[in-house]
Structure 1
Amino acid sequence: MDFAVISGAAAGLGKAFSFELSKLGYNTILIDLPDQGVKDICTDIECKFNRKSLCYEVDLTKIENIVEITNDINKRYNVSILINNVGVGGTKRFNDADVNYLNTIIQLNVMATTIMTKQLFQNLKKQEKSYILNVSSMAAFSPVAFKTVYPASKVFVHYFSRGLCEEYKNSNVFVSVVNPGPMKTNPDVTARINKQGVWGKIGLLSPEKVAEIAIRQLFKGDRLIMLNGNKFNWFVLKVLPIWLRLYLLSKAVRRELKNK
């Protein structure tokens, strides 16, 4: 019995991935923080789709926690899909952001993605055909003031994924990266998107739609998944000089701070 492992699965895009894969007939292992409702999601999946769904409630900012749960997964389950969805962002002036805030972004977006992949890679290699999908962001294509560390962390996810894909292109493990634009994944994110005005809403898609497209393209062998609503954004970001896109995006994000 093969399983799909999804991190950050209690809400938003992670939850949407969990339901999409269950709908397609996959058993799932869901990972999120304690007391975020991930157990209820497992129960819901088993009732709706008649698929096995298990969970680990753990803080993925701690490397020892990742090593512990992945060792347990490797001993007990066959993993054919890994979705590194866990991540966090936010909008703050760099001087106002405390060390824990910055460290959480780095640990979840960079460390957790890397170590989860490393720990489960041999498990994935044992299966006939396996997939890794890392969740980056449209923010990976431009620096943005007042977010500083978040876009930088997503550049890491993007380059890490592309490099790993090339390294193992002749193996049974296929690696892809998806770069979603704005998604109203929770009330806080929704409020921040609304404050950004028009720029914040270009390419806006629901988590369910992003998950549906991303999984479909993953299985088709798409190494770089650009969602339909974001292809125009990606083209514009490629064409505009960095100083101009930095100015325009930062101006949109600055509205979040003014409206707080």
Structure 2
Amino acid sequence: MTSFAIITGAAGGLGKAFSFELAKIGYNTILIDLPNKELASISNEIENKYSNKSLYYETDLTNIGNIIEMSDDINQKYNVSILVNNAGVGGTKRFEDADFNYLNTIIQLNVMATTIMTKQIFPNLQKQEKSYILNVSSMVAFSPVAFKTVYPASKVFVHFFSRGLYEEFKKSNVFVSVVNPGPMKTNSDVTARINRQGFLGRLGLMSPEKVAEISVKQLFKRDTLIMLRTNGLSWLLLKFIPIWIRLPLFSKAVRREIIN
């Protein structure tokens, strides 16, 4: 197979899991993440384990110039049939304590980078016989939450952007899907924050490897909205509990992440 799959945020957590999952089923991979994230080591591990090509780009996706420069290089050199927009960032802070850089990083990475990466790689995807875009949203896209504020709003964007893009190109060779994972223990910081939330924070908890496995399987089944089975209770809560109840309920759980 000469075609490549691009995975952003590939150095850890769900992005790393996506990279290994796609390599396992035969795709060459292009891994993207920040510098000094050991991408070379991950790339080598993939090649040694699966005998597929694995390349990497180290760049900051919050800078639009970096995205354009990198994607132009990819488009000139490689055929891309899968784009996984996984890179994202969140966190928990009181809004009054969140500085400009903190808020801007969430917006630039979750909203701008997802949009511009898709725009830049789209012509490459259109050249392939069959291609896929998988955008990673979140269960928090279905409810506002205090002490996170901008992060859920950014994931609403990812969700709606993906659904609209699917409708626009559903008769083309480019299939667009979105996955909405619940909590995942992707690193020590995230694990600590989940644990502090208590029961509600652990609803739908899954490993990144399992999320990646199910998401890839459903993507190839052309599932436009990937909702993981273990998120069923969370989805029911979001769907049937009125917002005036669930907003303070979820916000109280999330507030426990903040260490006073």
Deviation at 1:236, TM superposition (A): 1.6
Match of 2:233 in 1: 232
1:188-235 Cα distance to aligned partner (Å, 9 max, x none): 000000000000001000000000000000000100000011022112
1:50-81 Cα distance to aligned partner (Å, 9 max, x none): 00000000000000000000000000000000
Match of 2:185 in 1: 184
Deviation at 1:245, TM superposition (A): 1.2
Write the distance in 2 (CA, Å) between the matches of 1:65 and 1:243: 42
Match of 1:122 in 2: 123
Matches within 5 A, 1:1-260: 1-257=2-258, 259-260=259-260
SS in structure 1 of the partner of residue 61 of structure 2: coil
TM norm structure 1 = 0.99
2:203, 2:233 within 8 Å by CA — same for their partners in 1? no
SS in structure 2 of the partner of residue 15 of structure 1: helix
Percent of aligned pairs sharing the same letter: 73
1:90-124 Cα distance to aligned partner (Å, 9 max, x none): 00000000000000000000000000000000000
Deviation at 1:241, TM superposition (A): 1.0
Give 1:58's aligned amino acid: T
Write the distance in 2 (CA, Å) between the matches of 1:128 and 1:189: 39
TM norm structure 2 = 0.99
For structure 2, the residue ranges without an aligned partner over 5 or more in a row are none
Write the distance in 1 (CA, Å) between the matches of 2:257 and 2:58: 32
Write the distance in 2 (CA, Å) between the matches of 1:167 and 1:39: 37
Write the distance in 1 (CA, Å) between the matches of 2:233 and 2:193: 22
Give 1:149's aligned amino acid: V
Deviating runs (4+, > 6 A) in structure 1?
Answer: none
Write the distance in 2 (CA, Å) between the matches of 1:234 and 1:90: 22
SS in structure 2 of the partner of residue 256 of structure 1: coil
